[in-house]
Copies of this chain bind each other. A is one copy, B any other.
Amino acid sequence: MNKVILMGRLTRDPELRYTSNNLAVCSFTLAVNRGFAKQGEERQADFIPIVVWDKQAEFCSKYFTKGLQVAVVGRIQVRSWDDNEGKKRYTTEVVANEVYFADSKKSDIADKVQDPQLAEPADGFYPLEEDDELPF
């Protein structure tokens, strides 16, 4: 079991790319605030990279914008890679398989969108093919 639920704001507009296999991947960072502000201090936040695949990727790319408050459900993924000195590095991101508007005005969209594909979110363990590597 590997479940993550986040609510936060996009730090930038999302980026949409395609794998060599022509599968859509959308990426953005969520600023997730921690608790309430302390007297005289700014609220702290965690900046968490999110990756979304396929139909959901296109949905995010179309409707999400910088500053928008959204909620996502997904799983934590830890990828390892070698830096240019040949040292092993680790990248952690949240692979989201459900995305929501957490914003009054925008959440009306969900009432209008009727793409049946969107009603069946890709499951948490997306069946990536050998060549469906992340394009970044």
Interface positions of A (Cβ within 8 A of B): 1-8, 32-39, 43, 46-48, 69, 71, 73, 75-78, 92, 94, 98, 100, 102-105, 107, 110-116, 118-121, 123-125, 127
Contact = CB atoms under 8 A, between A and B. Distances in A.
A46 B76 contact: yes
A77 B35 contact: no
Contacts of A111: 37, 43
Given A36-B118, A37-B114, A120-B123, A46 B6 contact: no
B71 A34 contact: no
A119 B114 contact: no
B69 A107 contact: yes
